Amino acid sequence: MVKWSQLFNADGHDRRHRLQDEMRDLLPTRRDHVLPPPIPAKEVTKVALRLKHQLEQVIPCEMEEYKITRPHSSILTPAVVRTAKEAGGEEYKACVVYCLLVVKKWFKKQAMCELWDADLHDVRAMAAEMLAKIIIEEEEDMTYLLEEVLLKRYSIFLDEEDTLPANAIERAVDLHAVTVIGSSGYQKCISYLWRGWLVQDDEDPSRFIDYKEKTNTNYWVHLDPDRLRVPFYQNTVQIAISVIYLGLYTGAINTINASGDVDVIEALLYIFTLGFVADEISKFWKVGRYYIGFWNVFNTTLYALLTVSFVIRMVALGYAKGTDERIKNNILSYNFLAFTAPMFWMRLLLYLDTFRFFGAMLVVLKVMMRESLIFFALLFVVLVGFLQAFIGLDLTDDSLQDTGFVVQAMLNAIMQSPEFDGFEKFGHPFGLILYYIFTFVVMVILLNILIALYNSAYEDITGNAIDEYMALFSQKTMQFVRAPDENVFIAPLNLIELFLLVLPFEWWMPKHRYERLNDIVMGIIYSPLLVVTAFLETRQAHRIRYNRRRGEDDEDEVHEWEQVAGECDFEADGWDKKVQATKPNVEFDTGTLEIKKLRTEVSELKELLLEMRERGGWGSDTLKESKFGDEKLGESSESVGRQG
């Protein structure tokens, strides 16, 4: 058995491993003047160890995962859930959900270290996640659930130091715990964060508090630049800017300037690109290499091509009008610009992932790209091996003459369009034989492996599409909530912040005056948006007040089936009694219910026999026979139960 001190320091680099383990894939929270966690890190770690010990006893051997995840599980019984809640006692009970997510991560690590018990540890990890979901859904006090259980930040004790504080919402997103993310309480918390009803405290950004003006119907109160931190508003602005960016590109590529001059549309296009590049550099500088992901690489490639186009255009302007060099560079610049058209349209998908259809498809594409790494690794080895063989055949006459032909033929085979012409005389007969073998390996074996990987990824995601979409939506919400900037200047508006605020004022102006200046500038820039958001929040305030008067949740909406529900009294008209009498018991299967019924009847028969004995109607021999028959009947019921 691997000791936990060894497991945490398995790679021999304690400090680096701890840092890597606790770094987030998303942007970090602003950590200026962050108060320490409310519970000491050692106490949180002890609670996590108690939960880990409980799960090791509850699941002592390998079993099918569906026994853990199915409703009314016979493994995660109410008693087990109750014991898990008591792991932190009355004082530390708020951190139990966070600790269960920590335990899930521990079991996942243990599965990688102990491959012989990987399935067992994976089931235990799923059990920890299911326990967290059950505890979240059983909690009735929403204020306590949101502020203490899900959004309060805790640390664990690792390598003689406290880890960076994180809450259960962040943990679930980072661990991709879709079961927890799919729970009702978790989604309510994400919904409140998305709408801006839960906001970070200005005095301590590690804390989340209720938005105080949520029920205020005064329009001018909501006309506040700080409300631009709301994820919903930021996402709306990003979509609008992306559409404008795409429109600028469309205008630039469809209005080619033969003279090579840069018009207003192209100038705006390159200014927007500069803002996006500055934003990517800023985030990479603050987060480091953990910020790099698929979309970051995709956007960086797009911006690099646009930068090349811009540089070539500037080189073309250095020549006189009408010269061949200017025309040549101008055409090359437009070629680079046209080359990026598919990437521009694909980039729009990045900001449409809040819609369910696009979100699910993006998850499928992301998993497919990850699965493709296996195919490309195998393909690279095969390509290098056969290319070396073909080059060896080409070198038999001490010269490389057909390398271009060979490379093109190999690429055509990968694209399922092999060309056998030309190989008859290429190192005959070895060249043709090698090319046949290469075509068979690539087209029959490797490409079918790729199709199988894609099919598996598609089935895994679409079979759990709703939870995957909710996980993607939660991740996007946390990207906005964890944003490190207190002042929201979305690219390319970040250029205004950089050149008109940061460089000329931030280094010498007092903090309170600089913050006031930022609010004024943001109010001017986002004034059209603030007018709309203030109107929307005023309407929301009226609806929240109406819901509270009815005793409903703040986000409740009256659906069509609820409009007449208040006029129905099912208990008075006897309908509820009929329903209760005919409803099935879904907690147990039919066989188990029949055995329970049989046990009840046996108990009644025992009581009847004892009562008859007391009345003197039975002798001792007869009573022994009845007891013997009763025991046989009990054994029969147990046998039926085991068979069921």
Full DSSP string of 262-303: --HHHHHHHHHHHHHHHHHHHHHHHH-GGG--HHHHHHHHHH
Amino acid 191 reads: S
Locus of tokens 């938005």: 211
Distance of CA 577 to the CA centre of its chain: 44
The sign one gets for the Cα dihedral 315, 317, 322, 323 is: negative
Query: Residue 630: pLDDT above 80?
Result: no
Average pLDDT score over residue span 238-242: 91
Structure tokens at 545: 């007040």
- pLDDT band for position 401 (50/70/90)? low
200 φ, ψ (degrees, to nearest 5): -75, 140
pTM recorded for the entire structure: 0.78
**Measured between alpha carbons, how far is residue 13 from residues 9, 45, 112, 287, 291 in Å?**
7, 21, 18, 21, 22
Q: What is the CA radius of gyration of the chain?
A: 33
Q: Which of 61-70, 129-138, 220-229, 612-621 shows the highest mean pLDDT?
A: 129-138
Distance of CA 438 to the CA centre of its chain: 40
CB-based contacts of 622, cutoff 8 Å, min separation 6: none
pLDDT at 13: 42
Locus of tokens 């039975």: 618
198 φ, ψ (degrees, to nearest 5): -120, 125
Buried b (16+ CB within 10 A) or exposed e, 586-624: eeeeeeeeebeebeeebeeeeeebeeeeeeeebeeeeee
Closest CA to 600 of 633, 624, 627: 633
If residue 179 lies in a helix (H) or strand (E), which one and from where to where?
helix 178-181
199 φ, ψ (degrees, to nearest 5): -130, 160
Locus of tokens 């490379």: 407
Locus of tokens 């978790």: 186
- CA-to-CA distance for 248 and 267, rounded, in angstroms? 9
Average pLDDT score over residue span 332-342: 91
398: left (phi over 0), alpha (psi -120 to 50) or beta: left
- pLDDT band for position 421 (50/70/90)? confident
Q: What is the mean pLDDT of the chain?
A: 82
618 φ, ψ (degrees, to nearest 5): -130, 140
- The SS3 call for residue 174 is helix
Q: What percent of the chain has pLDDT over 70?
A: 86
> Largest Cα–Cα distance of the chain, in whole Å?
127
∠ CA 247-329-303, nearest 5°, is: 40
Query: Residue 19: pLDDT above 60?
Result: no
- pLDDT band for position 53 (50/70/90)? very high
User: pLDDT digits over 177-203, tens only?
Assistant: 999 999 999 999 999 999 999 888 777
Locus of tokens 């204020």: 143
- CA-to-CA distance for 30 and 280, rounded, in angstroms? 18
**Measured between alpha carbons, how far is residue 511 from residues 34, 47, 75, 602 in Å?**
18, 41, 56, 81
Query: Residue 17: pLDDT above 60?
Result: no
Q: What percent of the chain has pLDDT over 90?
A: 23
User: pLDDT digits over 471-520, tens only?
Assistant: 889 988 888 887 556 678 888 888 988 888 888 888 888 888 888 888 88
- The SS3 call for residue 320 is coil
With helix as H, strand as E and coil as C, how does 60-104 read? CCCCCCHHHHCCCCCCCCHHHHHHHHHHHCCCCHHHHHHHHHHHH
With helix as H, strand as E and coil as C, how does 5-52 read? HHHHCCCCCHHHHHHHHHCCCCCCCCCCCCCCCCCCHHHHHHHHHHHH
Peptide bond into 71 cis (omega under 30): no
439 φ, ψ (degrees, to nearest 5): -60, -40
- CA-to-CA distance for 447 and 424, rounded, in angstroms? 26
Query: Residue 621: pLDDT above 60?
Result: no
Q: Is 59 exposed, middle or buried (0-12, 13-18, 19+ CB in 10 A)?
A: buried
- CA-to-CA distance for 143 and 140, rounded, in angstroms? 9
Query: Residue 265: pLDDT above 60?
Result: yes
Greater model confidence, 587 or 148: 148
- CA-to-CA distance for 601 and 590, rounded, in angstroms? 17
pLDDT at 631: 53
Q: 282, 315 in Cβ contact below 8 A?
A: no
- CA-to-CA distance for 227 and 530, rounded, in angstroms? 8
∠ CA 23-152-49, nearest 5°, is: 70
Q: 208, 200 in Cβ contact below 8 A?
A: yes
Locus of tokens 């259980």: 149
